[in-house]
Amino acid sequence: MKKINESCGFMTNKNLIDLEDMTTEQIDKVVKKAKKIMQNPADYRHACDGKILATLFYEPSTRTQMSFQTAMLKLGGRTIGFDNPMNSSVSKGESLKDTITIISGYAEIIAIRHPVEGTAMAASLYSDVPLINCGDGGHLHPTQTLTDIVTLSCEKGRLDNLKIGVCGDLLNGRTVHSLIKTLAKYKNNSFVLISTKELSVPIYIIDILEKNGCKYEFSNNLAEAISDIDVLYMTRIQRERFKSEEEYESQKNVFVLDKEKLDKAKEDMIILHPLPRVNEITVDIDDDPRALYFKQAQYGMYGRMALILLLLQDEDFLIKSRNADVSEHKCNNPKCIIHSEDYLPKLSYNKKGMVMCSFCDKRID
């Protein structure tokens, strides 16, 4: 408990839970560092000699897990971890707290993915080393956004004055939420939100767009919306987050980017996708020069190399602590980690007079 209170008292730390906690200057610093690494990778071959990254993946992943592992290996470090918690003592009922306490005694840095919202924040309370959120349920996925930002900076040459179309599952897609929140901070970006009514962006994202004075419009027609956008960010319909198979069936394949639609797009529009893809982009588009989603995954590895270096080696690279006061109120979001790890303290913060859960950011009624 002492540890928790201390953690809550820190104004800054070395954990990346939400990209919102990083300033645009810090994001730009990651991008700049990633570009330097891309230009001269040999210069960084021994940058993390003797250091260990632990990748704790309680949920499946190809890109995030392996790009973090590759990033550390390319920096000269080594990796430990699991990609199936059932092969660890989690299968015997070990708590998140105990797992993190143990691993933070073995590794210099931890990357964690978990299907339950708020897990990264909860884990950070018990880690003595920098901890990176690699996705916590439908909540946040900050290093995917860093990947997207590095890609945009390299491929469009700017992070401002862009018209960005986001398409697909805008309700459950944590990557979309994080991307919109980040790009809204840069000058003169506007958004086209392409989805069905059922899968449109949560209201808090609209609040952020309004607060930042960003132009935005809704669309349910990809063929129409595609004609004047600079970036098309496609997303998968997140089957695993639906309550029933019927609901998923009614939403899948509503928006599919094919050659016919792409013909209506600008010559310099770029197509991004956090991947994995299911059916939402037809494979015959993969060879189009505008299709950058595979290259995007490679940019992600450089972004993660830059992040590891900054967290481990730059003493000034401190990230704002999340707001968290010990609270009377328990979060009532059934998807929040507070319900599955019952020793966790109730932590909340105030936002415009509302009490919000510090783990999952949902309003506590």
Contact call for residue 274 and ligand CP (CB under 6 A): yes
Query: Within 13 Å and on the Cβ side, how many CA atoms surround 242?
Result: 16
Contact call for residue 79 and ligand CP (CB under 6 A): no
Per-residue burial over 191-220, b = 16 or more CB atoms within 10 Å of its CB, e = otherwise: bbbbbbeebbbeeebbebbeeeebebeebe
Taking CB under 6 A as the criterion, the residue among 29, 51, 63, 163 binding ligand CP is 63
Binding span for ligand CP by CB under 6 A among 59-67, 194-202, 205-213, 228-236:
59-67
Q: Output 61 or 119, the one with its CB closest to ligand CP.
A: 61
> Nearest-5° angle of CA 62, CA 64, CA 68?
115
Q: Output 14 or 113, the one with its CB closest to ligand CP.
A: 113
CA nearest to 82, candidates 55, 64, 53: 55
Touching ligand CP, residues 16-35 (CB under 6 A): none
Q: Output 144 or 189, the one with its CB closest to ligand CP.
A: 144
246 to 51, 236, 252: CA distances (angstroms): 47, 17, 10
Is there a contact between 234 and 272 (Cβ–Cβ < 8 Å)?
yes
Q: Output 179 or 193, the one with its CB closest to ligand CP.
A: 179
Binding span for ligand CP by CB under 6 A among 56-64, 197-205, 236-244, 313-321:
56-64
Q: Output 238 or 333, the one with its CB closest to ligand CP.
A: 238
Q: Output 144 or 358, the one with its CB closest to ligand CP.
A: 144
Binding span for ligand CP by CB under 6 A among 61-69, 190-198, 200-208, 248-256:
61-69
Q: Output 108 or 148, the one with its CB closest to ligand CP.
A: 148
Contact call for residue 55 and ligand CP (CB under 6 A): no
Touching ligand CP, residues 241-260 (CB under 6 A): none
Least distance CB 308 / ligand CP (angstroms): 16
Taking CB under 6 A as the criterion, the residue among 5, 12, 23, 62 binding ligand CP is 62
Contact call for residue 144 and ligand CP (CB under 6 A): yes
Taking CB under 6 A as the criterion, the residue among 275, 338, 356, 360 binding ligand CP is 275
Helices assigned H by DSSP within 252-320:
259-262, 293-313
CA pseudo-torsion sign 15, 21, 25, 27: positive
Long-range contacts of 79-83 (CB under 8 A, 24+ apart): 79/52, 79/53, 79/54, 79/55, 80/52, 80/53, 80/54, 80/55, 80/106, 80/107, 81/53, 81/54, 81/55, 81/56, 81/57, 81/111, 82/55, 82/56, 82/57, 83/55, 83/57
Question: By the criterion CB under 6 A, which residues form the site for ligand CP?
Answer: 61-64, 144, 274-276
